[in-house]
A and B are shown apart, each in its own frame.
Chain A
Amino acid sequence: MLLSEMKKGQNGIISGMGGKGVLQRRLREMGFLKGTKVYVEKYAPLKDPLELIVKGYHISLRVEEAMQITVDDVKQGF
């Protein structure tokens, strides 16, 4: 499933990344890697962007950017 389809309060494991080179590389440099756990902290009041917790820190992405990331093993909880 896509990261952008995850709901608030769910966690999942990143299984793949697409997108343009610059975005993809920037995301990887910030720690979005295959096998990394990602938790959806919340969506912004206007439903975009969303706040995630990756590698212990908080980061925000736009929904359209989160659409480039696929996740597996989506569960409720931190």
Chain B
Amino acid sequence: MHKKSITIALAGNPNSGKTTIFNNITGTRQKVGNWPGVTVEKKEGLISKYGYDLKIVDLPGTYSLTPFSIEEIIARDFVLEEGPDVVIDIIDASNLERSLYLATQLREIDCRVIFALNMADVARTNGIKIDAEKLSELLDLPVVFTVGNKNEGIDTLLTKAIELAGSTAEIQQKRKVKYSKDIENAIVKLQDFIENKVEARLAYNLRWTAIKLLENDKIVTERTLREAGNKGDDLFREVQALRAHLMDRFNDDPEIVMTDERYGFIAGIIKKTLTSSAQNRVDISRNIDLVLTHRYLGFPVFILFIWAMFQLTFSVGAYPMEWIDRVVTLFAIGMNNLLPDSVLKDLIVNGIIPGVGSVIIFLPNILILFFCIAIFEDTGYMARAAFLMDRIMHVIGLHGKSFIPMLMGFGCNVPAVVASRTLESEKDRILTILITPFMSCSAKLPIYIILTGAFFSAKAGTVIFAVYLIGIIVSIVSGRLFRTTLLKGADAPFVMELPPYRAPMISSLLIHMWDRGKIFLKKVGGVILIGSIIIWVLSAFPVNIRYSLDYASEIVRVEALYEAEITAAGKSERDVIEKKKDMAIAKLIMARRAEKTEKSFMGKIGKSIAPLFAPLGIDWRGSVALLTGVVAKEIVVSSMGILYAVEKEPDALQSALVKSNMTPLSAFSMMLFVLLYLPCIATMGTIWRETGAFKWMLFSILYSTSLAWIVCFCVYQGGKIIGIN
């Protein structure tokens, strides 16, 4: 039997517990994607309940439906254009007055709205009592109490929503937002004008259109004028005349007067429905903030949290990393034994498994990092971090919220660039996206570890810290530079709610973590798989190489030499000689591999670009490794492993590096280059997508790479001049 399907949209303020309710309703049956044409995350869930197919759409959290930010435009467009059967407005019961602002805007659009008074338990303990029946009567809509994190009231909410969707009654609002006489007159006049003079079929409700025209709503004005066709000019003049009249009357923009009046309407509702006994109010959040945003303690605690997050990410993450490494190695050995010798086997065993394997071992790090960030977000600490950091970020010409994507940049730039969506102004967003890649991502860390381990053993930690710090400084300087040149103008107003602290729900933390971890896994599955195949092809071909030494016969010769020695030697010495033999042969095999790489396509490319890198103290092997890092920074280490012809990575590679021509100075130069040069393919793609412009991606590539070259040139040549090695 075909089930009836119902679309339910969830609207609400940020921090109203909307996501929790969405997670409760849909569980793991979520689809995370993008809203068409823009880059704001779209969450959808499909469930079957009470004999209906319910499509739940989580609208972006907004305070209003005035089209200032992308989020608001999306939320409004969805309600207007897609016409969901029901809109559930999730309201933080402790914050009724402000929440009702969005509610009145939803109410003005013709749609079926139902209220979920969420976190009613918290409100009650804070001494806030809401008369739901009265509220329901005053606004002419169903009201349900819910406690999202305890899953209370959700079933009732859904049943009511289905009931409302099924009601065939015309959406007749008995209770509208009433404006003052002058404004109401203007609305009626404009309605008449549209109906009688323009005679165009409007996409939206007449009264609402008139209100938006008077409010000078850009989007609605444009659309309506288009629909009005040749009457557009007349309509425009009429709107201007009415606006001028109101401006004259109120001495203020009509949209501002109307905002005030909506709040006036809300005040009336509040008076009749809300009683608050503020005396025995326990405000735990304020007490927590006595410490967390304290004048002197705020920053130390903040730094402690960030430090703890990185400790957790990298030291705890080291254990699962090792397990994954073991599994990958076992898998490679297994495949090596199972598959018959062929080019395909070589591709799988030497190309795909090590390539993808070297990246997938970062999954634990990334998951832990995102888990920590999810804790910051879900508890409400992120907003405090922005509060603490805004003064500093403002110096760069950025918003405190930019700190969040920049912080995430330390994990992985792909989600970090995506996180810049929280910024309202486009300039802020682009600026943040451009400087985020200078935050050294976790994929670059293994490179630093190898290089510092080899050249700065005792001071490895300090050097790595210095590299991170340089990244931060470069991003600050670049930020200032862009703000005064390319992206001139002030940053967006810093009007940010500091929501009450809340205990995070483990399920929502996990969903959050997993959503972002998936982005990383997709990157591994797609880009990095292709990348490792390309690299393998470049390093495995051409097949017929003229070696400087006939390795095969040399191996046979060495083997025979040792065999003779073994037979001649006494029983006790045989094992020792046997080991020597194995070592000598392994050395020859690796030398062959290194020569093969050197003479492969990749080696040729590397050598041809090597002159560019020579002034930076980076040899052809380093050049090739850096080149492969364009696919993903994680690959740099494994490429170096192959190029320096070592079997096991960390230890052997480090000693091979020390034996090569590299010096501490050139190692430092290479680290700086890794820090600053162009981001990986996945990040570049994300930058393109998130800025919506190819030119910004191109700019990012050119800027970062030329900056990397200049900085490394100065450091290496300068270092040589003052005699550092």
Contacts and interface: CB of A to CB of B under 8 A. Distances in A.
Interface of A: 21-31, 33-34, 41-42, 44-49, 51, 55-62, 65
A48 B390 contact: yes
B293 A51 contact: yes
- Central interface residue in B68, B263, B294, B394, by most chain A CB within 10 Å: B263
Given A33-B263, A49-B387, A61 B392 contact: no
Given A26-B68, A49-B390, A58 B294 contact: no
Interface of B is mostly: helix
A30 B423 CA distance: 17
B286 interface: yes
A21 B259 CA distance: 12
Contact of B495 (A26, A47, A48, A55): A26
Contacts of A49: 387, 390-391, 400, 494
Nearest to B98: A31
A23 B493 CA distance: 6
Interface residues on B, range: 35 or more
A27 B493 CA distance: 9
Interface stretch (B164-172, B295-303, B332-340, B369-377): B295-303
B497 interface: yes
Contacts of B289: 41-42, 51
Given A22-B68, A26-B68, A29-B259, A44 B390 contact: yes
B496 A60 contact: yes
B387 A51 contact: yes
A59 B66 CA distance: 19
Interface string B117-133: 00000000000000000
A40 to B, nearest CB: 13
Contact of B392 (A29, A33, A46): A46
A62 B541 CA distance: 60
Interface string B59-94: 000011010100000000000000000000000001
Given A57-B98, A59-B497, A46 B391 contact: yes
8 contacts: A31-B101, A33-B260, A42-B293, A44-B293, A44-B390, A48-B391, A49-B494, A55-B95
A46 to B, nearest CB: 4
B634 interface: no
A70 B64 CA distance: 24
Given A28-B263, A58-B497, A45 B295 contact: yes
Given A29-B63, A51-B293, A57-B95, A65 B391 contact: no
A25 B255 CA distance: 8
A5 to B, nearest CB: 18
A41 B296 CA distance: 16
Contact of A45 (B296, B496, B499): B296
Contact of B286 (A23, A27, A41, A60): A41
